[in-house]
Structure 1
Amino acid sequence: MTKKELLDAIHGRMIVSCQAVKGEPLYVEEKSVMYLMARAAKQAGATMIRTSGVRDVVAIKEETGLPVIGLIKIQYEGYDAYITPTMKEVDELVEAGADIVALDCTIRKRGDGTTINEFIAQIKEKYPDLMLMADVSNYEEGVNAWKCGVDIVGTTMSGYTPYTEAKDGPDYELMSHLAADLDIPVIGEGKIHSPEEAVKALSTGVWAIVVGGAITRPLEIAQRFMKAIAKAKGEA
């Protein structure tokens, strides 16, 4: 698919994030099982999947035939960012067939001494046709990533950096401001827990939204129910 075809396929729609990393209930050491979540997402009408790790990129593309936003979560010493932090992960995702590569584009410390601007430039030089999704935490980072030439900006990291406010729900304000001011697609992502919040996120003017934990993380879903019940009983 061309870049335009990929973007047109998700316009006004929901991308489902199907991820499980080590330590989570749906992470199985021997084999990826996230293709089953992706199968369900496709049957529900999703036109794109976001996933973490080479094996899940491969398995989900084989199972669904849908385009995939790929990322790799890994923590290196000296790096504050853990979403596709180095060229090694970019290379692996390209080899796996990710249609779009997502990376942390917050302005935080990078262990190799480069800035995020320099890293984006390196990726674009090596892979000039690769679509990049910038995961940012605030307006300034979104504008910076846009000026660096990424194809998509996502609000993924809002509330997950020390300098942004942690919220219980989506950052509608950030979605709205970026969607209004950038001339590339903005994807609303982060803490969209209900269909109502999904509709509200799309109404901010973003190109599309990503929903993950509310659909594909059963532990997180179960904990929300348990917390609500405990609160109603005065136990929390």
Structure 2
Amino acid sequence: MNRQDLLNTLQHSLIVSCQALEDEPLHSSFIMSKMALAAKMGGAVGIRANSVVDIQAIKQEVNLPIIGIIKKDYPDEAVFITPTFAEISALAVEGVEIIALDGTNRMRPGNRTFEELLSQAKEAFPEQLFMADVSTLEEGLLAVEAGADIVAPTLAGYTPYSKDVKPLELVKQLVEKVNVPVIAEGNFDTPEKAKLAIELGAHAVVVGSAITRPMNITEKFATAIHRK
């Protein structure tokens, strides 16, 4: 599938994020593969997944486009979503359709900027699609200028300077200002929010915790029931 066919496939669709970190009960590549299968059966057209081992397991279960990331913590660094060229290379070699990486203006390991890292990645893997996870409109504009093929408001509210940024509003702003697909991601936790994002011009919507993190979902119900 070429780049344009891939983007056409994802247009106006649901992408489900199937991730569980080491400290979570469902941390297992096998479980994530079954989550992906359940997502496909429910109507998902793509999967967002973390780590090469999870991606490999998911590929055994579903033949859907994958947005791949590698979450890795480096000492004294805030950026952890595909933070260096090593993670990008691992994902590219694995063959994911889209590589997502932190597109904020924070520095990466080695004191590198997003622009420097993306430039190196695009030179090494010229046919690869890259998605920038940003937290503000300015970051989205700079990411596109740097060569990002897709932008997403994934990190809105998660950087110190974006606490008041609402993902839905950022989707609207990005759609109006950039000439690349905008994928809505980050707290689109109800069908109504997902639908509204598409109506505002989002190319697709990524939903994660509201579908694939039962501990979090259970906690919301338990909190509501016990609230005085």
Alignment correspondent of 2:180:
184
Whichever residue aligns with residue 75 of structure 2, its letter is E
Determine if the alignment matches structure 1 residue 49 to structure 2 residue 24: no
1:192 is displaced (CA, Å) by 1.4
Q: Which amino acid aligns with 1:179?
A: V
Aligned to 1:212: 208
How far has the Cα of 1:166 moved from its partner? 5.5
Q: Identity rate of aligned residues, in percent?
A: 44
Shift of 1:62: 1.9
Q: Which residue does the alignment assign to 1:7?
A: 7
Q: SS in structure 1 opposite 2:30?
A: coil
User: Does the CA-based 8 Å contact 2:84-2:108 persist in structure 1?
Assistant: no
The one-letter code sitting in structure 2 at the alignment partner of 1:134 is A
How many pairs are equivalent? 228
- Of 208, 220, 223, 1:224 maps to 220
Q: Residue type of the partner of 2:180?
A: I
Aligned partner of 2:170 among 155, 169, 174: 174
Name the structure 2 match of 1:132. 130
Question: Structure 1, residues 151-180: CA drift from partner, whole Å, max 9, x if none?
Answer: 10011000000001267xx62110000011
Which secondary structure does the structure 2 equivalent of 1:146 belong to? helix
Unaligned runs of 5+ in 1: none
CA distance in 1, matches of 2:173, 2:182: 10
Residue 92 of structure 2 is matched in structure 1 by 94
Asked if the contact 2:51–2:68 (Cα under 8 Å) also holds between the matched residues in 1, the reply is yes
What's 1:78 paired with? 76
1:3 CA drift (Å): 0.7
- Kept in 1, the 8 Å contact 2:151–2:183? The answer is yes
* Higher mean displacement: 95-104 or 136-145: 95-104
Q: Distance in 2 between matches of 1:32 and 1:140?
A: 39
Give the TM-score taking structure 1 as reference length: 0.93
Deviation at 1:79, TM superposition (A): 2.2
Maintained 8 Å contact 1:189/1:211: yes
* 1:22 counterpart residue number: 22
**Could you tell me whether the CA contact under 8 Å between 1:117 and 1:148 is conserved in 2?**
yes
Output aligned runs, 1:114-125, within 5 Å: 114-125=112-123
**Counterpart residue identity of residue 14, structure 1:** L
Map of 1:157 onto structure 2: 155
Per-residue CA deviations over 1:22-43 (Å, capped at 9, x if unaligned) read 0011003xx5320101001111
Task: For 2:164 and 2:31, locate their aligned partners in 1 and report how far apart those are by CA, in whole Å.
Answer: 31
User: Aligned partners of 2:19 and 2:69: how far apart in 1?
Assistant: 10
On the 8 A contact 2:154/2:167 being kept in 1, the answer is no
Q: C-alpha root-mean-square deviation of aligned residues, in Å? A: 1.2
Structure 2 spans left out of the alignment, 5+ residues: none
